[in-house]
Amino acid sequence: MKKIFYLFALLFAACSSNVQEESATAEVATNENLLTLTEDQLQSLQIKTGLPELRAMSSNIKASGMLDVPPNNMVTIAAPMGGFVEETHLLQGMHVKKGEVIITLRHPDYIQLQEDYLQSKSQMEYMQLDLIRQEELARENINSAKTLQQARNEFKKSSAHTAGLAAKLRMINVQPEKLEATGIEDHIKVVSPINGFVTQVNVNIGKYIAPQETMFKIVDNEHLHAELQVFEKDITHVEVGQNIHLRLVNENTDRLAKVYLIGKEISEDRTVRVHGHFDKHDPSLLPGMYLSAIIETGSEKLLSLPETAFAGFEGHDYVFISEGKGQFKLEPVIKGNCVSGNCVVTFTGEKPQQEIVTNGALTLIGILKNKGE
């Protein structure tokens, strides 16, 4: 009997020790919406509290879209005449300057075009001399008006043909004015018409490039803008000059822009295009990046909390109200528009007088919801 009593005493002492250790660390209240932490835990979790504040919050419209560039900042480089790729150094992502040689093409047709131009130019010069001679004879009444008119027509025809060949040479970056001095070449050099980054390369050495076939695409992202889709029901509230808060995928900070243009056509999905210009150029941005946006359409003072005060769980938003002595109560709220790290908050009941956790809400809800596991 004494042995049994002794064992019972040992078990009781062990249980008492465990209870004391648990109370020294963290105590979870019996109410599933209450959580109690020790002072050490509050410090280690960096829990901060504060009161909701009235802030000038904007009446906002949510939109989505992508980054784009103006048509004159994106070029497709194609060969005006077919040719074989002799040399190119371009790779996707490289930066090129306006006028920089980006590819060299070779083909016998280039030789033929230059020969045709030189022959036509020579013929035109002959026709010009003949016209001058016929005009002198006409002044002396030696030739007929018909002969003079025929000389004029032949000169005009030859001039037009030569001008057409010269235009074709300029299209392949051959300067006809310098052709006699430089001589005929069997290759042409294609240059970039803009400063920008190479976004597409469709060539390799030896490949035959057909006429009008795309060789490269080059984009100048200096004037990158946001192309947003705004629903038809909201478009009447959008005006030129309004502020836009943009956020790229996987970003936690806003970028600022302004409404620059508003489309005048409703698409099949009942949206209207809104064109926004960034306040600051960022060379790291690329056309085609997806983004979400909030357009400020007005402003009023509303109750707000830092975005870090909210904790989402199973499709609902919550905050933690400080009850004092390390105790926090989970309270459902309605999270409104967020601007510059602050969000409008609407309480389902009366506005609490106690302070609210402004940093660490996600950590607390994780502890609370997992306490029974």
Tell me what the mean pLDDT of segment 144-166 comes to.
Answer: 90
pLDDT, tens digit, 9 for 90 and up, residues 295-329: 988 777 889 999 999 999 888 999 999 998 889 99
**Residue 2's pLDDT is what?**
41
pLDDT, tens digit, 9 for 90 and up, residues 217-275: 999 988 899 999 999 988 988 999 999 999 998 888 889 999 999 999 999 999 999 99
According to CATH, the topology of domain 27-68+224-373 is Elongation Factor Tu (Ef-tu); domain 3 (2.40.30)
With CA atoms as reference, report the closest residue to 327 among 22, 30, 40, 38.
38
**Residue 10's pLDDT is what?**
39
What is the value of pTM for the model shown?
A: 0.57
Number of residues assigned to the chain: 373
* Neighbour tally for 98: CB within 10 Å: 12
Residue 165 main-chain phi, psi, to 5 deg: -65, -35
* Neighbour tally for 368: CB within 10 Å: 21
Tell me whether the CATH fold assigned to 27-68+224-373 matches the one assigned to 70-105+186-219: no
The Cβ-side half-sphere exposure at 72, using a 13 Å CA radius, reads: 1
Spell out the residues 6+ positions from residue 19 whose beta carbon is closer than 8 angstroms to its own.
none
According to CATH, the topology of domain 70-105+186-219 is OB fold (Dihydrolipoamide Acetyltransferase, E2P) (2.40.50)
| DSSP bridge partners of 200 | 217
What distances in angstroms separate CA 41 from CA 19, 27, 117, 364, one per listed residue? 18, 11, 87, 11
User: Beta strands 225-231 and 214-219: pairing type?
Assistant: unpaired
Residue 267 main-chain phi, psi, to 5 deg: -80, 180
pLDDT, tens digit, 9 for 90 and up, residues 109-145: 889 999 999 999 999 999 999 888 888 888 888 778 8
Domain residue extents for the chain: 27-68+224-373, 70-105+186-219, 108-185
Share of residues in the chain with pLDDT > 70 (%) = 91
Two tokens, residue 282: 């960022």
